[in-house]
Amino acid sequence: MIKIITDSSCDLPDELIKKYEIRTVPLSVEIEGVRYTERIDITPEQFWEKMKRARSLPKTSQPSPALFAEVFKKVTKEGHVPLCITISSKLSGTYQSAMLGNELVGKKAVVFDSLAGSLAHGIQVLMAARLATAGKKMKEIFEALEKYRESVKIIIPLDTLENIIKGGRLNRVQGTVAKLLNIKVILHGVKGEVKMLKKVRGKKRFREAILKIINGLNPEPGRIFGITHVNNIEDANYFKEILEKQFNSEVIVNGMGPTFATYAGPGGLILAL
């Protein structure tokens, strides 16, 4: 049987990871000199608090090839074929670590680059797990993953520019002006990378702009949608309700883990459509 392996940045809810017996290789995050293992010794909620208090931006690190090799070896010994789906190779070195880990075990695993992050990556993991549970072959799973990877639309609304300032992508003066004017930013995913899409002033206009973008993208009804948030369940549930009604879709909502919360910042969202 095909067994699914992924990395901890996929942001899938724990209950789904347990239900489908998905093996997870953790990334790590360093906050002001202290290193934590994502979703093992620090929860998303604990990370949000520490990130908020930190003076500098936390730093994330990909898993070592040896960690991937260990999981691949274990799954193979159990008599299964490992299929590993990672965060985008354009956002992290995790995919390369998985590839090197696969070489260490004689290329017994299959490694797939999601070209996405957070739940846009996690939904691919979930799809693969459901298909594998249904007894589908590797070819069929790959075709479904490639189709989703090509068609997924990713919207990243940032409620604050705080972490962009901490990361040095916006200076303090520009950040203060943006805060005074209540400027919010909407980014989007483009072929595995993140780019600027729109700037908006005010909360009401922000939500309206996001809804306009969603409708403009015209996502396919009935597919799985995902929303992750950084301590912003209110907005996450607001968009979840709209997506469920408008597109008759399964919508997964979860807290954003350290890998992406570091860049999204407090109140940030990632929508995978």
Domain ranges of the chain: 2-27+62-150, 154-272
Count of other CB atoms within 10 angstroms of residue 83? 24
What pLDDT is recorded for position 185? Answer: 87
User: Nearest-CA neighbor of 273 among 241, 250, 245?
Assistant: 250
pLDDT tens digits, residue range 21-36? 999 999 999 999 999 9
CA-closest candidate to residue 117, choices 151, 89, 98:
89
What span, in angstroms and rounded, lies between the C-alpha atoms of 181 and 177? 6
For 83, 223, 248, the CA distances from 6, given in Å and listed in that order, are 8, 21, 28
Tell me which residue of 126, 119, 100 sits closest to 111, measured CA to CA. Answer: 100
Q: In the prediction, which pLDDT does 154 show?
A: 96
DSSP assigned state of 57: -
Q: What is the mean pLDDT of residues 126-138?
A: 98
Q: Per-residue pLDDT for 239 more than 90? A: yes
pTM recorded for the entire structure? 0.93
**Which string of b and e fits 149-175 if b means at least 16 CB within 10 Å?**
beebbbbbbbbbbbbbbbeeebeeeeb
Q: What is the dihedral of CA 10, 29, 191, 272, to 10 degrees?
A: 40
C-alpha dihedral over 62, 148, 18, 104, to 10 degrees? Answer: -40
pLDDT at 175 over 80: no
Instruction: Specify the pLDDT at position 260.
Output: 93
Q: Does domain 2-27+62-150 have CATH number 3.40.50.1110?
A: no
Q: Which of 37, 34, 46, 31 is nearest to 7 (CA)?
A: 37
In this chain, the answer to whether the domains covering 2-27+62-150 and 154-272 adopt an identical fold is no
Provide the pLDDT for residue 166: 67
pLDDT band with cut points at 50, 70 and 90 for residue 113: very high
Radius of gyration, alpha carbons of the chain:
18
Dihedral sign for Cα 167, 171, 172, 174, please.
Answer: negative
Domain 154-272 - what CATH class?
A: alpha beta
